[in-house]
Structure 1
Amino acid sequence: MIRTAILVDGAFYRKRAYHLYGDKSPAERADELEWYCKRHIREEHNEKCSLYRIFYYDCPPMDKKVYHPFLKRQIDFGKTPDYKWATEFFKELTHKRKFALRMGRLAEEQAAFNIRPNITKKLCNGSLNFDQLTEKDFAIDVKQKGVDMRIGVDISSLAFKKQVDRIILIAGDSDFVPASKQARREGIDFILDPMRAPIKDDLFEHIDGMRTKAPKLSNATSTK
C-alpha cells in the first residue's frame, strides 16, 4: 500500500479551479477540492494507494481598509463578498475528513492598489491614456507570508519521519524545489500536479513525475 500525502497550494488551486470549473459557492468549491484530491488516490488502478492526509496551505482573507486611488476612497475588505466567501470556504474545509489547514498570513501592512501590468504596458506604448482608466484597471497587491515555508517544512517532516511513500504537490511554481530534493533523497516518490498550468522545463529534474486530474481546457466546463 502506497501511503500518499497530498499538499495543496491553496491560492494556486483556487485560481486554477475558477479558470477550469467556473465560479462556485464555498461549499461547492470545498467539495470539488476534496473530489479532485481523492482522484489521485482512487484512479490509479495499477497501484494500491492510501490517503495519509490532505494538507491545504493558504492565508486568511484580508479585513483591512485600503485606499483606492481611482475611486479616491477607502475600501473595507472585511465587508467584501470575497472576504465572506473565503471565510466560509475555510470553515467548510475544517469539516472535511483527513484535511489539515496550514495557514500563513497576508502582509496587510504593505497592501496597495496598483495598475494591472497589462494596463501599464498599454499606458507606456500609448494605446491607452490615463483619462481612459477605469476601476477594473486596478488590482489589490498583497503578498502571502509563511505559506511556502509551511509547505517546505511539511515536505521535509513527512520525508524524514517516513510517514508517507509518496507526496503529490498541487502547485505551479518552483518554490518547492529545495524541499522536493530533500524528499527524493529520503526515497519519497515526489509527484507534481500543476493543473495544466505551464511550468518551467528545469522543474522536471527535481520531481519524479507529473500527473494531473485537471481537464483539458476544451472540456473544462464539467467536474465529473
Structure 2
Amino acid sequence: MRTAILVDGGFYRRRAQSRLGEKTAEERADELNKYCRRHLYHHGKQVANLYRIFYYDCLPMDKKVYHPLLQRQIDFSQSDLRTWMYAFIEQLKKKRKFAIRLGKLADEQAQFLLREDITRKLCRSALQVTDLKEQDFLLDVSQKGVDMKIGLDIASLAYKQQVDQIVLISGDSDFVPAAKLARREGIDFILDPLYNPIKPDLFEHIDGLRTCDPHFNPNWSEKESTE
C-alpha cells in the first residue's frame, strides 16, 4: 500500500511544543520525520510504503507590529522564532521523501490581541487593565494558501491514483471537501489530530482516526504506561 502523509505544519509545531516540549530545529525535524514514518507500521510490522511526506507551513513575517501594552513596535525580523523556523525548514529539506509547501502570512493584517481567557477576566472585573502583562497578548496573523495547497495535493493524489492511502496530520475541519473527494476515488483517508478533539460528525468523512504517539494525549502519563 502506497501512503502519502500530509502535515499541517503550524498545527504540528504548536501541538509538539505543547506536549513534547521545546526542541532545537534539528531535533524537531528529526522528531517529525520519525513520527510520520510510524504511520507505516502497525504492531511493529510495516504495512505500507511511503510515497512522500508533504509539509505545509508559512515562514514567520519580518515586519514590525505595534504592541498596545508595551506601546512600541515589535520587530519580528529579529525574532528567535524567525531564526528557528528558517533552520527548521532547511532541516526538513534535507530529509528523504519530504516535499515542502510554503504559503504566506497575511502580515498586513497582523495585530496583537488579548487572549480570550484574559478578555473574560477583564469583563467580569476579575482582572484590571493595570494588571495586564506582555504574555496576556497574542499575535493574530492568518495564513494564506496553506489550506488550498493541502486540498489541491489531496485532489491530485486521488485523481492520479498515485497513492492508496492518505494520512493527514491536522486539527482543522477545512479538509472535509477534499477528504470526501479522495474517498470517492477509492483512497483510504486517515486523520491524525494528535489527540486534539475533533467534531463527532467528522467521522463520517474519514476512514480512520489514528495518532501514533501517546505523549500527545493530555491524559497520558509515563507512570500509567509502566503500570
> Fold-level match, TM-score > 0.5?
yes
TM-score normalised by structure 2 residue count: 0.94
Query: Residue deviations 1:9-50, cap 9 Å, x none?
Result: 000000111122110000000000000000111345566310
Give the alignment of 1:1-224 within 5 angstroms: 2-43=1-42, 48-215=47-214, 216-217=217-218, 218-219=220-221
Give, as a single letter, the amino acid of the residue that structure 1 aligns with 2:148: M
> 1:205 and 1:42 mapped to 2: Cα distance?
24
Please state whether the residue corresponding to 2:22 is helix, strand or coil. Answer: coil
Cα distance between partner residues in 2 of 1:140 and 1:19 = 17
CA 1:114–1:6: 2 relative to 1, 3 Å: same
In the TM superposition, what whole-angstrom CA distance separates every residue of 1:133-184 from its partner, at most 9, and x where no partner exists?
Answer: 1111111100001000000000000000000000000001210000000000
Number of aligned residues? 220
Letter in 2 for 1:90: I
Q: Which amino acid is the alignment partner of residue 211 of structure 2?
A: T
Aligned mates of 1:68, 1:86 — CA distance in 2: 22
SS in 2 for 1:119: helix
C-alpha change, 1:115 and 1:19, in structure 2 (3 Å) is same
Contact 1:20/1:220 (<8 A) preserved: no
What amino acid is aligned across from residue 221 of structure 2 in structure 1? N
2:109 & 2:62 partners in 1: Cα distance?
13
Identical-residue share of aligned pairs (%): 60
What is the TM-score with the length of structure 1 in the denominator? Answer: 0.95
Unaligned runs of 5+ in 1: none
Say if 1:45 and 1:134 are closer, same or farther in 2 by CA, change over 3 A: closer
Distance 2:108 2:41 in 1: 43
Amino acid of the structure 2 residue aligned with 1:189: D
Task: Look up the equivalent residue of 1:66 and give its one-letter code.
Answer: V
Q: Call closer, same or farther: CA 1:109–1:198 in 2, change over 3 Å.
A: same
Q: Secondary structure at the match of 1:104?
A: strand
How big is the shift at 1:202?
0.5
Structure 2 CA distance for aligned equivalents of residues 201 and 44 of structure 1: 27
CA 1:122/1:220 → structure 2, altered by over 3 Å: closer, same or farther?
Answer: farther
Q: Distance in 1 between the 2:163 and 2:200 partners?
A: 27
Contact persistence 1:21–1:220 (CA under 8 A)? no
